[in-house]
Chain A
Amino acid sequence: MPQPASPAHPATASIAPGPGHASLLRTALRSRPLRGSVVTIGLAISSLLVLVLLAAYRSPMQGVRSYIAQPGLDLWVSPLGTDNLIRTAGFLPLHIVDDLREIPGVRGADPLLRVFVRATPWRRNGHGHERNVMLLAIGYRVPMGLAGPPSIATGGAPEGEIDVTLDRAAAFRLGLGLGDTLRVNDRLVRVAGITRGTNLLATQFLFFDLALGESASGLEDQASFFVVRTAEGEQAAVARRIRDLFPGLAVYSSDEFARNSVRESAAGFVPLLALIALLGVLAAAVTVTLLVQNLVDERQSDLAVLMAMGASVRSIGSTLVAHASMLVVAGSLLGAVLACALAWSLDRFLPTIHLTLLPLDLFVTVAVFSAAGAVGAISPLWRLGRIDPLEAFRT
């Protein structure tokens, strides 16, 4: 029986969709659990790749910085043309160090000899093979000289001419432990200590006595650098005095020298790392694009019904983007957790590869992946505008 129209249905009212529709739309439009899991794992692997690359980059950079800028080292004096520890041009006469010590404001000055040496275990392994590695050796005035090993993991710094202290990754590669004997350029020496944070990936640090460095390398009465400790607040003044007294020398603050060395270390491989990281981010964005495109194509009739029922393209689009973003955040967080687990496992079981994960890198990676995922999710949304709500009437 026909009745009068209900006053409870004001046709002109323009109420926005209720607060509950977004969560229901999210539930309705989310991808199938298996597909969502596969996408999340794919994104986790992409972010893990990027994080590992970042961490692999950070590790040698931090090693270089922690050695050069260790407490007590204020100035680095080098031959002209040498502004970093990694690549050097020429040597300095050793006797200059005595003159440096006489400069007002100088509290200490020591020579350093930086050479590459071949390190070989004294005993061959069970198969008769001889393992050997090239190490970045730092000869300094043992035991009390400046610029010794920055961080000891076990044992101690060299105490005499037959002692060396080497990075734990180098020790692992050579199969050496504390007290073991090895040959450094055919000189027999003993492992007195093992350091950490001195792995530059391409090579590792070894510390030994200056005299041993001279005899092992044949570079007598020469130094690669002089390191100087200054009185409090005298760093700039002492640097100026050294330049005035020795115009043929270059003088750098520890920070500047560390920056230059980091630049020199990174120069070779940063472009490649950046390219691979970019590819990782692109792969994540493409994965998200495929996911959203698939959702739009597969759910076309559902979307038509929703549009007929009054859901806007914008709310459907933002629901799909939110769903994709949730997967991206979950994937990149999972990648971050995996990266931490991997770094811990490598440190414990395979110290040759050292990963330095910084909280900032974790945060930036999650943020970059989220942004890339959002861009990837938005790109297929133009197809939403082509869905005809009349589809809902078709059988």
Chain B
Amino acid sequence: MNALELRGVSKTRGLGAHATRALEAVTLEAAAGEVVLLEGPSGSGKTTLLAIAAGLLTADQGEVEVAGAVLGRMSPAALRRWRAQQVGFVFQRPRLLEGLSVLENVALAATLAGMARAPATQEAARLLEELGVEALSARRPSTLSGGEEQRVSVARSLVHRPALVLADEPTASLDWASGQAVASHLQRLARERRAAVVLSTHDLRLEPYADRRVRLVDGCIR
């Protein structure tokens, strides 16, 4: 069973004269532990695809299935609960919450997925250690470098053992060395935790850190 399956997904964004076809009959699969590199120019529909896979946008046509659950059949509340448990995010900007420490930022994702605070904190600490940033646990996000923040963001995306991690240009605002480190950690941990990863990027240098490359142009897989 694939962790992610998009079957003939189409999506139009905007209304009336401003409507544009963001995705056109896209079919995409990702197995558990597989990293799929989704590359394409700006405006090709990469973020729309990630949002549909996360259930944040609804497809106009086609079907989205994540770890056996068909998203179109879920109520909004069930979809939100499902997303908390089954999806992890790594955004272009790490978007850690400044009010929380690094450890708490990671633990929060686990508690939102249903874990109690103590095991969530333990799991977060373990993951930060695996990423080599355990020394940052008590620090506030604003005191971290970009690379450190993004590594914490990777920990946050995986702490609740999701079926799917959606990474939206996670290395775009990092230097190459930091970007490599982040991509490498993401690939290793996703394999260990058997999470499918869809990593959107402009940067083809990340290809060695993916199992497969998919090109998206004008909303179509090429």
Contacts and interface: CB of A to CB of B under 8 A. Distances in A.
Interface of A: 1-6, 8-21, 23-25, 27-30, 301-302, 305-312, 389-390, 392-393, 395
B104 A27 contact: yes
B93 A395 contact: yes
Contacts, number: 161
A12 B69 contact: yes
Nearest to B117: A20
A12 B91 CA distance: 25
A363 B191 CA distance: 58
Given A18-B114, A19-B116, A308-B89, A24 B3 contact: no
A20 B100 CA distance: 13
**Which interface class (under 10, 10 to 19, 20 to 34, 35 or more) fits B?**
35 or more
A176 B83 CA distance: 78
Interface centre among B84, B116, B161 (most CB of A within 10 A): B84
B95 A301 contact: yes
B81 A310 contact: yes
B105 to A, nearest CB: 8
Contact of A312 (B2, B50, B80, B191): B80
A302 B118 contact: no
A305 B95 contact: yes
A361 B156 CA distance: 49
Question: Which 9 pairs from chain A and chain B are nearest by CB?
Answer: A20-B117, A310-B84, A15-B114, A11-B69, A2-B31, A21-B111, A11-B67, A3-B33, A2-B34
Interface string B1-14: 11100000000000
Contacts of A2: 31-34, 211
A195 to B, nearest CB: 57
Contacts of A1: 33-34, 191, 211
B97 A28 contact: yes
B41 interface: no
Of B2, B77, B86, B211, most A-chain CB atoms within 10 Å: B86
Interface stretch (B16-24, B51-59, B177-185): B51-59
Nearest to B95: A305
B194 interface: yes
Interface in B25-48: 31-34, 47
Interface of B: 1-3, 31-34, 47, 50-51, 54, 56-57, 66-69, 77-78, 80-87, 89, 91-93, 95, 97-100, 104, 107-118, 120-121, 161-163, 168, 172-173, 191, 193-196, 211
Contact of A18 (B92, B116, B172): B116
A25 B104 CA distance: 10
B85 A9 contact: yes
A5 B110 CA distance: 20
Contact of B97 (A17, A18, A302): A302
A312 B163 contact: no
Given A3-B31, A302-B95, A308 B81 contact: no
B85 A18 contact: no
Contacts of A6: 32, 161, 163, 193-195
Contacts of B195: 6
A5 B111 contact: no
A390 B3 contact: no
Nearest to B164: A9
A15 B1 contact: no
A390 B51 contact: yes
A24 B107 contact: yes
B32 A305 contact: no
A40 B222 CA distance: 59
A307 B76 CA distance: 12
A311 B89 contact: no
10 contacts: A2-B34, A5-B31, A6-B32, A9-B162, A9-B163, A12-B68, A17-B113, A27-B99, A28-B104, A306-B112
B194 A3 contact: yes
Residue of B1, B110, B118, B194 with most partner-chain A CB within 10 A: B194
A85 to B, nearest CB: 60
Nearest to B163: A9
A20 B66 CA distance: 26
A393 B50 contact: yes
Contacts of B80: 307, 310, 312
B51 A5 contact: no
Nearest to A315: B112
B51 A393 contact: yes
Nearest to A312: B80
Given A1-B191, A393-B47, A20 B107 contact: yes
A312 B83 CA distance: 11
A33 B116 CA distance: 27
A308 B121 CA distance: 21
Contacts of A10: 67
A308 B51 CA distance: 9
